[in-house]
Amino acid sequence: MKKYLIVGLGNIGEEYKNTRHNVGFQILDHLAEKNQLGWEVKKLGSYTSLKVKGRQFILIKPNTFMNRSGKAVRYWALQEKIPLENILIATDELHLPFGSIRLRSKGSPAGHNGLKDVEAQLNTPHYSRLRFGIGQEQKAYDQVKFVLDPWDKKEEDALPKIIEKCAEAIICFGLEGINTAMNKFNGSI
């Protein structure tokens, strides 16, 4: 059975639960809930597993905080013997408009500290990522405060539809590959 490691980036703790920076956790929580899966606390994070059409999706929410996420990614990739091309990181992206999705098979961290740590721990930028646009209207705004703030009402109302698309993109990544997932899901919802 082919295995895929899907890691949602976020911060642990109630104070971060419904913040923009935790959308990676929200995407994985939705996927788990939709498939009636429970989370189990294991080494370096919360773990669950989903089987779809002969593929196994290992879902991980690191408990290392955002800026040290790479440690959990590296550990679970080695533990489950998952090749680099079968890893997908789901995270927020400040530089994309709210509601847009961008899948890539490689790239730069673009200032995202969680992705910087993943790249450092894997020793390569060649891993797939699903970026969820959280947008920032005012460029002079405090970026740290913005990503750690809760969703506003308008965003919160739109989230379920976009998060569902992200869940579909994750399954497509495992069943049809990153290129097909990019063609089907990149863009605004």
What residues act catalytically? 21
The answer to whether 102 and 166 have CB atoms below 8 angstroms apart is: no
Q: What is the DSSP string of 112-146?
A: -HHHHHHHHHHTSS-SEEEEEE---S-TTS-HHHH
Separation CA 133–CA 58 (nearest Å): 24
Separation CA 89–CA 103 (nearest Å): 10
* DSSP code, position 21: G
Q: What are phi and psi of 93, to 5 degrees?
A: -140, 110
* One-letter identity of residue 81: K
Short-list 17, 128, 118, CA closest to 68: 118
